[in-house]
Amino acid sequence: MTQPRVIAIDGPAGSGKTTTAQAVARALGFAHLDSGALYRAVTLAGLDARALGSVEATLAGARAARVGVIPAGNDLPPQGGGGER
């Protein structure tokens, strides 16, 4: 089995990491996973749970976040996640 190839790009906020990563992935024919978007989604789930009023709820909400990956070019399913159109 071939090992997956991974390229990680590190740098400060606003330095063009996503733009660079997208261009590199396109040039090499690799898939691009925007980990920053995943982190923001988990953070949002935690902050939404914090509305319940405790640090424990915030952490539980972040841990329970169900984050999916949708390949570029595919449409998001309608609210409710049933996939019906």
Q: What confidence tens digit (pLDDT) does each residue in 5-52 have? A: 888 888 998 999 989 998 998 899 888 888 888 778 777 777 776 666
Of 80, 53, 50, nearest to 63 (Cα)? Answer: 50
Give the amino acid at 6.
V
Per-domain boundaries in the chain: 1-32, 33-73
pTM for the model stands at 0.54
Give the amino acid at 65.
A
